[in-house]
């Protein structure tokens, strides 16, 4: 891979400003061969203020023995999809139609902020528009939004970015409602690509992946110029260096 000129980054750095809302496309109509789009300004009603660390909870098997309740006193928790069945985060993300409907039907928005794309916000009650939606997977949407909220220290738990093969646990909720069987042995390159893009977009943020047995590809979370803002910690190191150091 060619070296990247620091003066010409591969992606544009996002200068953080408080999110106040945005204009979104609510409907597209084809009339006489012309595309007509209806738009609407959606004001931010969450008005999130970052407090402590941002803990982003993926549903990969690497976090299955960790007690998420340990995170509550030292930061804000961003989760995705079926996490709500076992634990209520501060913010929950879904991009899939069936999962978004499940979250709405189970009145989860009464317990926490539930973010989804505009299409699902229109279809379901209680859901909130993902700010400046980059159209990523749910876990990466959570990371993205923590950055939009203004968090600078972002920790990822349960992010494995891959499947593990037949008869292996690939997702804590696999084979439950709205989760199909997962038997491949694949690294999700696009998931990693989205994460790597966010690293470049917010060089002023620190991104730490917590994993007890990180696969080889996690040693290469950066591509091109290393911005020195990604880190790996075991769960013991995370407990000792992060959770036990928070006053």
Question: How far apart, in Å, are the Cα atoms of 92 and each of 109, 186, 212?
Answer: 9, 26, 25
Most confident segment among 43-52, 167-176, 178-187, 218-227? 43-52
pLDDT given for residue 102 in this prediction? 98
DSSP 3-state assignment of 71?
A: helix
Six-digit token string for 23: 């204009």
Instruction: Give the least confident one: 15-24, 82-91, 121-130, 212-221.
Output: 212-221
Give the model confidence (pLDDT) of 104-137 as tens digits.
999 999 999 999 999 999 999 999 999 999 999 9
Is there a contact between 51 and 75 (Cβ–Cβ < 8 Å)?
A: yes
Cβ atoms within 10 Å of 131's Cβ, excluding its own: 21
Task: State the virtual CA torsion across 21, 26, 31, 36 in degrees, nearest 10.
Answer: 10
- Mean per-residue pLDDT, 19-31: 89
pLDDT of the residue at 6: 40
Instruction: Tell me what pLDDT residue 7 has.
Output: 44
Residue 95: pLDDT band with limits 50, 70, 90: very high
> CB neighbours of 50 closer than 8 A, spacing ≥ 6?
76, 146, 149, 150, 151, 152
* Cα R_g (the chain), whole angstroms: 19
Q: In this predicted model, what pLDDT tens digit does every residue of 46-58 receive, in sequence order? A: 999 999 999 999 9
Confidence band of 246 (pLDDT split at 50, 70, 90): low
| Sign (positive or negative) of CA dihedral 152, 202, 156, 77 | positive
Task: Please tell me which residue, 224 or 66, carries the higher pLDDT value.
Answer: 66
pLDDT at 247: 52
Q: Provide the mean pLDDT of the chain.
A: 91
Task: List Cβ neighbours of 245 (8 Å cut-off, separation of 6 or more).
Answer: none
CB 37 within 8 A of CB 27: yes
**Please, are residues 164 and 217 in contact by the beta-carbon 8 Å criterion?**
no
Long-range CB contacts for residues 238-243, cutoff 8 Å, separation at least 24: 238/155, 238/208, 238/210, 239/70, 242/53, 242/74, 242/155, 242/208, 243/70, 243/71, 243/74
Tens-digit pLDDT profile for residues 185-241: 787 889 999 999 999 999 999 999 999 988 888 888 888 888 999 999 999 999 999
C-alpha to C-alpha distance for 91 and 48, rounded to whole angstroms? 10
**What is the 3 state secondary structure string of 104-162?**
HHCCHHHCCEEEECHHHHHHCCCCEECCCCCCCCHHHHHHHHHHHHCCCEEEEECCCCE
**Domain map (residue ranges) of the chain:** 48-245
């Amino acid at each position: 891979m060619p070296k990247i000129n620091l003066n010409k980054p591969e992606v544009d750095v996002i200068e953080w400003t408080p999110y106040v809302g945005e204009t979104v496309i609510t409907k597209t109509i084809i009339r006489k061969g012309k595309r007509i789009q209806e738009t609407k300004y959606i004001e931010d009603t969450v008005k999130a203020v970052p407090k402590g660390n941002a803990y982003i909870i993926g549903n990969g098997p690497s976090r299955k023995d960790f007690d998420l309740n340990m995170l509550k006193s030292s930061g804000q928790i961003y989760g995705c999809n079926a996490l709500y069945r076992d634990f209520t985060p501060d913010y929950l993300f879904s991009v899939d139609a069936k999962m978004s409907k499940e979250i709405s039907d189970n009145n989860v928005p009464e317990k926490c902020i539930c973010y989804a794309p505009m299409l699902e916000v229109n279809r379901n009650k209680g859901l909130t528009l993902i700010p400046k939606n980059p159209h990523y997977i749910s876990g990466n949407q959570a990371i993205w939004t923590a950055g939009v909220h203004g968090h600078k220290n972002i920790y990822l738990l349960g992010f494995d970015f891959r499947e593990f093969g037949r008869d292996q646990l690939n997702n804590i909720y696999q084979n439950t409602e709205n989760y199909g069987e997962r038997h491949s042995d694949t690294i999700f390159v696009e998931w990693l690509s989205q994460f790597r893009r966010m690293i470049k977009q917010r060089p002023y943020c620190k991104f730490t992946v917590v994993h007890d047995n990180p696969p080889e590809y996690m040693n290469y979370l950066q591509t091109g110029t290393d911005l020195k803002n990604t880190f790996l910690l075991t769960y013991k190191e995370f407990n000792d260096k992060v959770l036990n150091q928070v006053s």
